[in-house]
Amino acid sequence: MVRDTSFAGFLRNLVGPNVVPRLWGDTLNSAQNDPIKLSHTLLTARGQASGVAIADRVLTLIETADAEGLQRYLAALRDEFEVDLGAVLQAATSAKDPEAGTAALIALQQAAEPPRQELFRRLNAAPRGTERLVAFRCNLLAALREDASLAPIDADLRHLLRSWFNRGFLVPARIDWHSPADLLEKIIAYEAVHRIDTWEDLRARLVPADRRCFAFFHPALPGEPLIFVEVALTRGLVGAIDTILSAPRDTLQAEDADTAIFYSISNCQAGLAGISFGAFLIKQVASDLKADLPNLKRFATLSPMPGFARWTQKQGIAPEYLAEGHEALPIAAAAYLAEAKDGANRPLDPVARFHLGNGAELHRINPGGDLSAKGRAQSHGVMVNYLYELEQVESRHEAFSASGEITLSRHVRALVNRPRIWDTADSTQGRKDAKQPDS
């Protein structure tokens, strides 16, 4: 069991469960098993110790609630802890007065914040409060898939989690074979891109001189990785995952490598979905590797294309054009990555959206890059290299954020400009968003 060393934990140990009734008084007798009533009480609690005890009780009741009880609590969060629109309009009217001053603006800001945000802040003061709220969000996200009216609750909790998990609180660390066994077990369990089947598989990714693994941690979730990235140190770009994962193989000394390949990035906490850590981690790792190994000249990924097969099916591209070795396959892959967009005019492929949004270049298409059953099913075996040129990452990120502009290598640009031999009506839609690199 993880020992709670937070101030909230200290208070809980200080007051103890037998003291809680005295802190709550009559409130406990009437509401101790009703998380909704206790949540209202928590918002009015004045004492810090009593607030911690109430917060702990609310979270315990939520954690042990059945499906009906959880649904009832979520409905109350939506309906009973929402903004008072009348108060917002009144505060806005006051703030419009030129002589109102900053006090009126502060009052408007306070009126516009839903009470459930303050409720979440107070729940966070409970022992292991952050960890428990992250777990609560897993249940919230599951409920949200069935009931879209719960979206405001998630918006408020996500807003707070983004603040609590901002870059300043993240702790980078290298994972190696000497890391705690329970942490290594979590790396095996959380690996989401290229499955780790055995301890020997994990050893092959951590022990050799040309392999690295790095993760982000947070003080509120001790021993729990938020995200981790696996890195292969190579000579030149790698276009096939078997080149990295196959065994046995010849090990390259780290000082002889010129390229760092990020071949697997796994988010670990479902309750933190939508809160991105990957961009920070890649840039942190690239910077650290560059400092430790100045011989490294290139930083790139070897990435899957999880939506490519679905897209080709929707486009009606016949299977013969997507067979391994057919000239149409890399052309279709380039068109998908460079031109297929979602409703917000962002790359349709989630991995492309992530890396291009981080400021990477769409660098190389690799047919036959992943010939596993999963690779064939999701991307017809194609993988892609995204290139991180550290001196250009920020400008490319800003261009992508401002206008959706992406950077293509000459290799990918040439593929995009090739005739769509599966479709005589060669569409050029979307190419205006692609930028030809200077070199």
The whole-number pLDDT of residue 272 equals: 96
The pLDDT of 391-418, averaged and rounded, is 92
Q: How confident is residue 2, by pLDDT bands cut at 50, 70 and 90?
A: very low
Quote the Cα angle for 140-143-147, to 5°.
125
**pLDDT tens digits for 86-116?**
887 888 888 888 877 888 888 888 888 899 9
Q: Do residues 316 and 323 touch, judged by C-beta distance below 8 A?
A: no
Q: Enumerate residues 6+ apart whose C-beta is below 8 A from 364.
A: 237, 239, 384, 385, 409, 411, 412
End-to-end Cα separation, the chain, in angstroms? 55
The conformation of residue 169, written as its DSSP 8-state character, comes to G
Per residue in 270-290, pLDDT tens?
Answer: 999 989 888 889 999 999 999
Instruction: Give 265-288 as a 3 state SS string.
Output: EEECCHHHCCCCCHHHHHHHHHHH
Measure Cα distances from 328 to 22, 205, 423 in Å: 75, 34, 10
**How much is the average pLDDT of 187-194?**
94
Mean pLDDT of the chain, nearest integer: 88
Q: pTM (2 decimals)? A: 0.83
**Rounded Cα distance, 299 and 313, in Å:** 33
Q: Can you give the pLDDT at residue 418? A: 94
Per-residue confidence (pLDDT) for residue 169, from 0 to 100: 94
Q: Is 221's pLDDT higher than 60?
A: yes
Contact present, 114 and 82 (Cβ < 8 Å): yes
Q: Which residues lie closer than 8 Å to 321 by C-beta, 6 or more apart?
A: 328, 329, 332, 421, 422
10 band by pLDDT with thresholds 50, 70 and 90: low
Q: Which domains, ranges and CATH numbers included, belong to the chain?
A: 7-164 (1.20.140.90), 171-435 (3.40.630.150)
Under a CB-based contact definition with an 8 Å cutoff, are residues 408 and 436 in contact?
yes
* pLDDT, tens digit, 9 for 90 and up, residues 30-64: 567 899 999 999 998 877 778 899 999 999 999 99
Give the residues across from 384 on adjacent strands.
Answer: 303, 365
Cα separation, 39 vs 45, whole angstroms: 10
Nearest 5°: phi and psi at 426?
A: -70, 105
Radius of gyration of the chain (CA): 26
d(CA 263, CA 238): 10
Residue 429 pLDDT grade (very low, low, confident, very high; cuts 50, 70, 90): very low
More confident residue, 256 or 345: 256
Q: pLDDT digit string (tens) for 292-311?
A: 999 999 999 999 999 999 99
Nearest C-alpha neighbor of 171 from the set 225, 230, 133: 225
